[in-house]
Amino acid sequence: MKLSHNTTPGNSDWRSIVSKYQKPSTKRSWWQVATTLPPYLLLWYLMYYSLSVGYGLTLLLAIPAALFVVRIFTLQHDCGHGSFFKSKKINDRLGMVFSLFTFVPYHYWRRTHAIHHSATGDLEHRGIGDFYTMTVNEYLSKSKWGRLKYRLYRNPVFMFIVAPTLVFIIGYRFDFLKRKNWEKERRGLFWTNIALLALATVMSIAIGFKAYLLIQLPITFIATSIGSWFFFVQHNFEDAYWDQKPNWDYTIAALHGSSYYKLPKVLQWFTSSIGFHHIHHLSPRIPNYLLEDCHNDNQMFQTSPTLTILSSFKTMNLSLWDEDRQKLINFEQFKAIEQSGFNPG
């Protein structure tokens, strides 16, 4: 059932509740760093030595290594929201360190991600920090070439296998938005690129360029594919929320435009509880280790759309927002609409 203004908690209700959870623990945050970075570095080291045993073992070790990269990114994500530590300086410095492992420029990504948070489910502000989604009307108005390009873009093979690695390795090396007054973000992007180049150069000198690629590429490929899938599924499900101003509502967008991705505990750990995405979008200042408590302690937050691993795969082909039916549909459903003689308004 869709949330409405009548069933969604008012601003004063939820703001007073979430404020109790917006208090990062220095001890818990540093413990997360200690249980994330050292194991990842150890796995990287083991992958290097596994090259002399067999590349199959190297690829096998790349799986847990990639999961640790996903976790590093989610911790970088918390730093970007200022929710990991009380100190902005520590958040920013640690976020920049994490960027050397994720290939994501900290300051630039933080700014684009803030746009995503401020406009989730807003039809007028799509495509920045999220997967671009066309409406049925927009798709109907496209030429055959325009439709083909969009279908290729929304193809699961491209979205979750081809594009993620290209975006993280190549796309994040450039200022693709070219926004005014983003000097700090552009400087951060530049110095991140320099640091990554220096790191790759040092590692290539130390172990050889080929060995570096044989280790780093599978880690990046797996990690970016997993990360992209998580980001997609938490905002792209059949009864997601989309609207435009003045009707667009932040609270409804958070609690209904973001899903609760119910995961096995091991995956919840590797993703730093990002599955409680509805809580995170409602209040990004809640540190990852308090998201579950906020969800479990408050009944009003337990009515958001819930996905499991099995049910989430059904969202993979949802590609168009049907404004008449207020739901995401796939191309087969669109074909039935088109055949019925529907014309764009």
Cα 250 from Cα 325, distance rounded (Å): 21
3-class secondary structure, 207: helix
Kindly report which listed range (160-164, 169-173, 246-250) carries the lowest average pLDDT score.
Answer: 246-250
Cα 329 from Cα 236, distance rounded (Å): 10
Give me 255's structure tokens: 């609690």
Q: Is the confidence at residue 151, as pLDDT, over 60?
A: yes
Cα 259 from Cα 250, distance rounded (Å): 15
Over range 109-125, report the average pLDDT: 91
Report pLDDT for 2: 45
Kindly report which listed range (143-157, 213-227, 324-338) carries the lowest average pLDDT score.
Answer: 324-338
Cα 205 from Cα 199, distance rounded (Å): 10
The torsion angles phi and psi of 228, rounded to 5 degrees, stand at: -65, -40
pLDDT-based confidence at residue 3 (cuts at 50, 70, 90): very low
Nearest Cα to Cα of residue 77 among 271, 294, 304, 301: 271
Nearest Cα to Cα of residue 215 among 44, 64, 329, 85: 44
Is residue 319 within 8 Å of 116, Cβ to Cβ? no
Cα 184 from Cα 187, distance rounded (Å): 5
Q: Quick check: is 57 in a domain?
A: yes
Q: Quick check: is 53 in a domain?
A: yes
3-class secondary structure, 2: coil
Q: pTM for the full model?
A: 0.92
Half-sphere exposure of 119 (CA within 13 A, CB side): 19
pLDDT digits (tens, 9 = 90+) for 60-96: 999 999 999 999 999 999 999 999 999 999 999 999 9
pLDDT-based confidence at residue 55 (cuts at 50, 70, 90): very high
Q: Is the confidence at residue 250, as pLDDT, over 80?
A: yes
Report pLDDT for 277: 96
Q: Quick check: is 258 in a domain?
A: yes
Q: Quick check: is 97 in a domain?
A: yes
pLDDT digits (tens, 9 = 90+) for 297-322: 999 999 899 999 999 999 999 999 99
Q: Quick check: is 224 in a domain?
A: yes
Q: Quick check: is 108 in a domain?
A: yes
Q: Quick check: is 8 in a domain?
A: no
Interhelix angle for 288-297 vs 26-34, to 10°? Answer: 120
DSSP 8-class letter at 194: H
Q: Is the dihedral of CA 283, 285, 289, 294 positive or negative?
A: negative
pLDDT-based confidence at residue 117 (cuts at 50, 70, 90): very high
Nearest Cα to Cα of residue 237 among 227, 225, 247, 229: 229
Q: Which domain holds residue 119?
A: 25-124+156-316
Average pLDDT of the chain is 93
pLDDT-based confidence at residue 126 (cuts at 50, 70, 90): confident
Q: Quick check: is 165 in a domain?
A: yes
Cα 254 from Cα 250, distance rounded (Å): 6
Provide the domain count of the chain: 1
Cα 99 from Cα 148, distance rounded (Å): 35
Cα 175 from Cα 190, distance rounded (Å): 9
Total Cβ atoms within 10 A of residue 208: 13
Single-letter residue type at 136? V
Give start and end residues of each alpha helix (H) in the chain: 11-18, 26-34, 37-50, 55-80, 88-102, 106-118, 136-140, 144-153, 156-157, 163-169, 183-207, 209-233, 250-256, 265-270, 277-282, 288-297, 309-312, 331-339
For 178, left (φ over 0), alpha (ψ -120 to 50), or beta?
left
Q: Is the dihedral of CA 272, 275, 281, 283 positive or negative?
A: negative
Interhelix angle for 88-102 vs 55-80, to 10°? Answer: 150
Q: Is the confidence at residue 273, as pLDDT, over 50?
A: yes
Kindly report which listed range (66-80, 127-141, 157-171, 249-263) carries the lowest average pLDDT score.
Answer: 127-141
